[in-house]
Amino acid sequence: MEYKGKRYNSHLRTPGRLAVLLGCLSLVVLMLTGCGDGESGTRVVFTTGFGKDEVFRIGGATCTVPEMIVYLTNTQNQYESVYGPEVWNISREGVTLEENVKDTVLAKIAQIKTMYLLAQDRGVALDEAEEKKVEQAAAEYYDSLNDTEKEEMAVTTDIIEQLYREYALADKIYRHIIQDVNPEISDDEARTITVQHILFRTYTMDGAGNRIEYSIEMKQEAYQKAAEVRREAVEEGQDFVDLASRYSDDGTITYSFGKGEMDSGFEEAAFSLETEEISQVIETEVGYHIIKCLSTFDREQTDLNKLEIVEERRREVFGQEYDAFVETLVRQLNTKLWDEIALLHDERVTTAGFFDIYAKYFPD
């Protein structure tokens, strides 16, 4: 059974709202590393005119090696604190985890700097109290570094201050743009239902993982079996979970979901049921289903869903303005220098608190 619920995840322990937003915006890194087709409006320029420490430029903003190393090192040590240093031995389809993390961090810092420029373009600035917090956060983080970390990352308090300033402005421009986006979300749009189902698949998989559709005769047999099992549940009153355990081709029996999270045919049938009602046999792209509704409404979960839907609408509004702004910028990546940057594999370099300290001074 395919569950299509939206899930956002970030391996960076960045503050919640901004972390989610950065995960949803178009990746500027793609525009930094790939040339446009001449018609899309994307302007990517490769040049040899970089300063010795410049990794990339976006519009009037630049990213230097020490800035990139701060992000990379904190991300690296967050990974190692959970998975251990052996995690860097992992690779997938020829791409090492280190390469993947580098690209992820490049994307995130490029997004933050783009949002920083957007804030300047819209006349949004930090106030005196916010600037004071930037200074305090930078001082705390810098003081947390040992001498080796300061040397290896080549950082100063000014560099840390600027990183925190950009981060704070990225957050502030987001809040500024979405401040009037407060859509009314109905209970029906936000409600979550809970169902049980029995699945009779209409395909199989070959040894190479390719999907092989059932023949017309095999599909008819699957349908007839589904109809018989439904009759046992409805007319004979047999236990639905017991039937699912014996006959279902899905290891999961119970699903809770809101609108837009499941196959449309499955969802339409499920949302039309009353509590304890059992559906007719319905067909989706994976096979035939029998659905039993356990709960048609959950007040607490519905209220939580409303908040999530509102935030999604806000991200969509911001994303439209962000994407339009990105298209006006020239992006330049110093590919030679970028390829030379690597994680700091030094047991004396353990700093991982950059984002946590930011969150302390700029909580959601």
Q: What is the pLDDT of residues 264-313, one digit of tens each?
A: 999 999 999 999 999 999 999 999 999 999 998 888 888 888 998 898 89
If pLDDT is split at 50, 70 and 90, which confidence band does 15 have?
Answer: low
Mean of pLDDT values over 70-78: 96
Q: Tell me the per-residue pLDDT of 89-108, one tens digit each, with 9 for 90 and over.
A: 888 888 899 999 999 999 99
The pLDDT, as a whole number, for residue 44 is 45
* CA separation for the pair 214, 205 (Å, rounded): 10
The pLDDT, as a whole number, for residue 37 is 40
The pLDDT, as a whole number, for residue 28 is 45
Q: Has domain 16-182+308-361 been given CATH number 1.10.4030? A: yes
Q: Cite the residue boundaries of each domain of the chain with CATH code 1.10.4030.
A: 16-182+308-361
Mean of pLDDT values over 249-266: 92
CA angle 324, 162, 41 (to 5 degrees): 20
If pLDDT is split at 50, 70 and 90, which confidence band does 11 have?
Answer: very low
**Mean pLDDT score of the chain, rounded to an integer?**
88
Q: Cite the residue boundaries of each domain of the chain with CATH code 3.10.50.40.
A: 195-296
If pLDDT is split at 50, 70 and 90, which confidence band does 1 have?
Answer: low
The pLDDT, as a whole number, for residue 19 is 61
* CA separation for the pair 294, 296 (Å, rounded): 7
Q: Is the pLDDT of residue 25 over 70?
A: no
Class for the domain spanning 195-296: alpha beta
Q: Which residues, in sequence order, are bridge partners of residue 95?
A: 92
Residues 6+ apart with CB under 8 A from 161: 134, 135, 138
The pLDDT, as a whole number, for residue 31 is 45
**Distance from chain centroid for Cα 329:** 24
Residues 6+ apart with CB under 8 A from 205: 211, 212
